[in-house]
Chain A
């Protein structure tokens, strides 16, 4: 109710802003104005869609699992992954109370992995040389097993003993194809990057996925999703690609299955600790979701519901924000170096119309935090997450551009241990800072030595206003560079060593 009021007020404020924005006298140069309009309204329209999905936030009615269901847990290992992590995960799988069989889908060709699996009562399946990385192994394993339900668990995710008790009940509805649960982490204390990366997920695994659940658009996340075998069979097996989980989810939705998102934490995994690993993960996703946008969505369009179309369209274009951010950042530099201004807008008039949108947006942001999985520690402004998202715009943009000419990036599992280095992904941030200082120097020199006295006072507000705008973006780069710098000093550790399974209480 309170949320609906805020959303209605927010929508009206946006209409008012739009009514003012689209005036012919605001156009300074048509191409630039169209670009600015696209960049600005891209973000606003997406915000509005998210608000509307919040109105449908729903929590599924928890059902106790029926007895006698046959469940498989698939976890995959690849060469180079740390054995100790598997020891912990396999031990935790053995402690899951609901009867199940754990399978280790292994292509390490390392006998110690087989030994570890057998020590923890898991079935060891050797699946070497299959195309399609993780998904390829899952499909091969599906052919060699026959359990009704399959939990696909990333090896860094340590499941809680009640994992299956929380999810299996939902499958009593025969139309449910998969059940997704929240994701949480046990290493976010390790670095700025880890905390920021974790902060970025709070909203997604809280209000966002809950709203998507209400619209039957919840997305499956490869790390800890439980599937019905017949649902996977109906789409010809687990999807393959950089965003294999999203591909699987859209296909299952298109095949007419229902999805369930339950905001419970029944496992904890790893979040990237260094900026380089984080950016690689983001690049993989940025490139991967485009596959869904270009390859899956058009093909499956007729079978999807209206909300599912909108939802996958929104998810599929999420990383376009990398390009819009680039254009935003260019505005002050176009002004200073080329004298180009996209719009003749009075800043105060803009502010008068933008502030209500901003205030309501903030109110909604804070309001929906009650639906976070851990409302206490997870609430807040998540500034680390914002800094990290800002730092990733070049990565997002790269992902988008690569997908235009179908450029390939290899499927690499996200690093489980911190990589101690100053990542090349931070170079655009350094370039941005250099450009800022260069421009600042140029502006100062120009004003001190070359601006006619008769122009100085009248152009002062525009100049320094624009410098402030550029300075704001400059300030945002500091967080990302701090994360990059901190990544050069981080000590690679095995955070799973410190996890004591006996202390997991559920």
Chain B
């Protein structure tokens, strides 16, 4: 009997020792994990800055090499690129492009330029809000564009799904985080993210276009649209974001407010002259690719919107210009759009081609907007651009 008791006691003490060891082991692992989470931010910042410093160091080492430098060909644009006031009062028409295949290289942009026989002063790319590593200010990409002599146009999409719930606590279920999201932004729930982004943008140090929450008046597109938010919430969020940037000293951001022209209620979403530098608008012709679409000419797309938007006293930008090849003559569409554009739409100061070969945002299948393989269209565009009568760029106020 006594020995049984002793055996039970031995077993119990051993079992509890094993449990204790496992508990302590898990605790130690948890501590390391915690340290890792705390250290992640600084580590990522460090890695990001090392990356961009290595790139600029290499650039400096290689500068003055025999390659024809793109930046040299864009020397005329330099005053606009370096001075926000020149940029906001531009006296010429700036052409740019977005290309989706530019993760490793901007060679596709250069190829497009070569087909059009001009250098593009604006290069657009998209980045989303969130806690992921690639959702910080895209220092390297911005720097790479600037090294090439162009100006980055960053379309900044306030998706709220990617925020780490530990650092940015949610008030409701995870799939409802975008409902009322703009009010949450305005209320300061994402200020930590905003401030960090703004500080990095300030550290970048050069002007750049920042197109925040584009197509906010389209209820069928992005979660920051009117299906989840009231127009007043958008205005409050926009003003809050701009104010945070100003407080951080990130005055190099040039704010592009960019509604969708198909819904004529955009005035309800306008944050006010003091908060907007440029007005952007979309001009995408989907042709007959979907039941809801039909072939619109550029003039039909921009049509009424131009009449109203040109009265805001801000330079206009066609921030996404594109035409699918289904349902009409693409070359003719661009010819109609671009021929005499400076005369027909004098407030338009920038045109950015939407050269996306894999657009999956609107239809169940990927749409190809890219021009690189469409020789006829490229020739038509080049022809139209050649006919533009623009004053010689003379940056002045």
Q: Are A458 and B25 in contact (CB under 8 A)?
A: no
Q: Are A461 and B140 in contact (CB under 8 A)?
A: yes
Nearest B residue (CB) for A353? B36
Task: Give A335 Cβ to nearest chain B Cβ, in Å.
Answer: 13
Task: Give A483 Cβ to nearest chain B Cβ, in Å.
Answer: 33
Secondary structure of the A side of the interface? helix
Nearest A residue (CB) for B108? A454
Q: Which residues of B contact A13 (CB under 8 A)?
A: 29, 32
Q: Are A8 and B106 in contact (CB under 8 A)?
A: no
- 3 interchain residue pairs of minimum CB distance: A8-B25, A457-B144, A455-B105
Q: Known: A7-B25, A348-B43. Contact between A447 and B58, CB under 8 A? A: yes
Q: Are B59 and A8 in contact (CB under 8 A)?
A: no
Q: Which residues of B contact A96 (CB under 8 A)?
A: none
Is A130 in the interface zone, CB < 8 Å from B?
Answer: no
Q: CA separation between A6 and B32, bound complex, in Å?
A: 12
Q: From the candidates B22, B110, B143, name the one contacting A454 in the complex (CB within 8 A).
A: B110
Q: Which residues of B (98-126) have their CB < 8 Å from a CB of A?
A: 102-107, 109-110
Q: CA separation between A282 and B56, bound complex, in Å?
A: 47
Q: From the candidates B26, B36, B55, B107, name the one contacting A452 in the complex (CB within 8 A).
A: B107
Is A502 in the interface zone, CB < 8 Å from B?
Answer: no
Q: From the candidates A16, A447, A458, A464, name the one contacting B144 in the complex (CB within 8 A).
A: A458
Q: CA separation between A458 and B101, bound complex, in Å?
A: 12
B137-160 vs A, CB cutoff 8 Å, 1 = contact: the mask equals 000110110011000000000000
Task: Give A246 Cβ to nearest chain B Cβ, in Å.
Answer: 33
Q: Which residues of B contact A461 (CB under 8 A)?
A: 51, 54-55, 140
Nearest B residue (CB) for A464? B54
Is B268 in the interface zone, CB < 8 Å from A?
Answer: no
A448-489 vs B, CB cutoff 8 Å, 1 = contact: the mask equals 110011111111110010000000000000000000000000
Q: CA separation between A5 and B30, bound complex, in Å?
A: 12
Q: Known: A453-B148, A461-B51. Contact between A352 and B107, CB under 8 A? A: no
Q: CA separation between A464 and B55, bound complex, in Å?
A: 9
Task: Give A184 Cβ to nearest chain B Cβ, in Å.
Answer: 33
Taking each of A347, A349, A449, A454, which has the highest tally of chain B beta carbons within 10 Å of its own beta carbon? A454
Q: Known: A454-B70, A454-B148, A458-B141. Contact between A1 and B29, CB under 8 A? A: no
Q: Which residues of B contact A8 (CB under 8 A)?
A: 21-22, 24-26, 28-29
Q: Known: A352-B36, A461-B55, A461-B140. Contact between A455 and B106, CB under 8 A? A: yes
Is A409 in the interface zone, CB < 8 Å from B?
Answer: no
Nearest B residue (CB) for A346? B133
Q: Are B36 and A457 in contact (CB under 8 A)?
A: no
Q: Are A454 and B133 in contact (CB under 8 A)?
A: no
Is B326 in the interface zone, CB < 8 Å from A?
Answer: no
Q: Which residues of B contact A348 (CB under 8 A)?
A: 43-44, 47, 133
Q: Are A460 and B25 in contact (CB under 8 A)?
A: no
Is B40 in the interface zone, CB < 8 Å from A?
Answer: yes
Listed by A's residue number, 29 A-B pairs whose Cβ atoms lie within 8 Å are A4-B21, A5-B25, A5-B28, A6-B25, A6-B28, A8-B25, A11-B25, A346-B133, A348-B47, A356-B33, A360-B32, A449-B66, A453-B70, A454-B105, A454-B110, A454-B144, A454-B148, A456-B58, A456-B62, A456-B144, A457-B140, A457-B147, A458-B104, A458-B106, A458-B141, A459-B104, A460-B58, A461-B54, A464-B54
A384-426 vs B, CB cutoff 8 Å, 1 = contact: the mask equals 0000000000000000000000000000000000000000000
Q: Which residues of B contact A9 (CB under 8 A)?
A: 25-26, 28-29, 32
Nearest A residue (CB) for B33? A356
Q: Known: A7-B25, A13-B29. Contact between A352 and B106, CB under 8 A? A: no
Is A434 in the interface zone, CB < 8 Å from B?
Answer: no
Is A334 in the interface zone, CB < 8 Å from B?
Answer: no
B355-384 vs A, CB cutoff 8 Å, 1 = contact: the mask equals 000000000000000000000000000000
A-B pair count, CB < 8 Å, reads 111
A residues in contact (CB < 8 Å) with B: 1, 4-9, 11-13, 16, 346-349, 351-352, 355-356, 359-360, 447-449, 452-461, 464
Task: Give B150 Cβ to nearest chain A Cβ, in Å.
Answer: 10
Q: CA separation between A449 and B68, bound complex, in Å?
A: 11
Query: How big is chain B's contact interface, by range?
Result: 35 or more
Q: Are A458 and B32 in contact (CB under 8 A)?
A: no
Q: CA separation between A347 and B66, bound complex, in Å?
A: 34
With A8-B24, A456-B144 already in contact, 18 other A-B pairs whose C-beta atoms are closer than 8 Å: A5-B21, A8-B22, A9-B26, A9-B28, A9-B29, A12-B29, A351-B43, A356-B32, A359-B32, A360-B28, A449-B66, A453-B148, A454-B109, A454-B110, A456-B62, A458-B144, A460-B51, A461-B51
Q: Known: A4-B25, A9-B26. Contact between A447 and B133, CB under 8 A? A: no
Q: CA separation between A352 and B47, bound complex, in Å?
A: 12
Q: Which residues of B (31-76) have their CB < 8 Å from a CB of A?
A: 32-33, 36, 40, 43-44, 47, 51, 54-56, 58-59, 62, 65-67, 69-70
Nearest B residue (CB) for A12? B29
Secondary structure of the B side of the interface? helix
Q: CA separation between A136 and B143, bound complex, in Å?
A: 73
Q: Which residues of B contact A11 (CB under 8 A)?
A: 25
Q: Which residues of B contact A7 (CB under 8 A)?
A: 25
Q: CA separation between A26 and B109, bound complex, in Å?
A: 28
Q: CA separation between A384 and B77, bound complex, in Å?
A: 58
Q: Which residues of B contact A351 (CB under 8 A)?
A: 43
Q: CA separation between A116 and B269, bound complex, in Å?
A: 105
Q: Which residues of A contact B67 (CB under 8 A)?
A: 453
Q: From the candidates A5, A349, A452, name the one contacting B110 in the complex (CB within 8 A).
A: A452
Q: CA separation between A1 and B17, bound complex, in Å?
A: 9
Task: Give A365 Cβ to nearest chain B Cβ, in Å.
Answer: 16
Task: Give A492 Cβ to nearest chain B Cβ, in Å.
Answer: 49
Q: CA separation between A359 and B21, bound complex, in Å?
A: 19
Q: Which residues of A contact B21 (CB under 8 A)?
A: 1, 4-5, 8
Q: CA separation between A349 and B104, bound complex, in Å?
A: 19
Q: CA separation between A454 and B73, bound complex, in Å?
A: 14
Q: CA separation between A458 and B148, bound complex, in Å?
A: 12
Q: Known: A348-B47, A456-B62, A460-B51. Contact between A12 and B25, CB under 8 A? A: yes
Q: CA separation between A359 and B39, bound complex, in Å?
A: 15
Q: From the candidates B29, B36, B51, name the one contacting A355 in the complex (CB within 8 A).
A: B36
Q: From the candidates B44, B66, B107, name the one contacting A455 in the complex (CB within 8 A).
A: B107
Q: Which residues of A contact B54 (CB under 8 A)?
A: 460-461, 464
Q: Which residues of B contact A455 (CB under 8 A)?
A: 104-107
Q: Which residues of A contact B69 (CB under 8 A)?
A: 453
Q: CA separation between A6 and B17, bound complex, in Å?
A: 15
Nearest B residue (CB) for A461? B51
Q: CA separation between A7 and B26, bound complex, in Å?
A: 10
Task: Give B151 Cβ to nearest chain A Cβ, in Å.
Answer: 15
Task: Give A183 Cβ to nearest chain B Cβ, in Å.
Answer: 33
Q: From the candidates B32, B44, B109, B143, name the one contacting A457 in the complex (CB within 8 A).
A: B143
Q: Which residues of A contact B148 (CB under 8 A)?
A: 453-454
Q: CA separation between A454 and B59, bound complex, in Å?
A: 11
Q: Are B55 and A460 in contact (CB under 8 A)?
A: yes
Q: From the candidates B36, B40, B133, B140, name the one contacting A458 in the complex (CB within 8 A).
A: B140
Q: Which residues of B (149-185) have their CB < 8 Å from a CB of A?
A: none
Taking each of B22, B44, B58, which has the highest tally of chain A beta carbons within 10 Å of its own beta carbon? B58
Q: Which residues of A contact B51 (CB under 8 A)?
A: 460-461
Task: Give A438 Cβ to nearest chain B Cβ, in Å.
Answer: 20
Taking each of B21, B33, B51, B148, which has the highest tally of chain A beta carbons within 10 Å of its own beta carbon? B21
Q: Which residues of A contact B29 (CB under 8 A)?
A: 8-9, 12-13, 16, 356
Task: Give B71 Cβ to nearest chain A Cβ, in Å.
Answer: 8
Q: CA separation between A4 and B36, bound complex, in Å?
A: 22
Q: Which residues of B contact A349 (CB under 8 A)?
A: 133
Q: CA separation between A16 and B37, bound complex, in Å?
A: 14
Q: CA separation between A349 and B44, bound complex, in Å?
A: 10
Nearest A residue (CB) for B105? A455
Q: Which residues of B contact A4 (CB under 8 A)?
A: 21, 25
Q: From the candidates A359, A448, A452, name the one contacting B105 in the complex (CB within 8 A).
A: A452
Task: Give B396 Cβ to nearest chain A Cβ, in Å.
Answer: 30
Taking each of A13, A360, A460, which has the highest tally of chain B beta carbons within 10 Å of its own beta carbon? A460
Q: CA separation between A455 and B213, bound complex, in Å?
A: 29
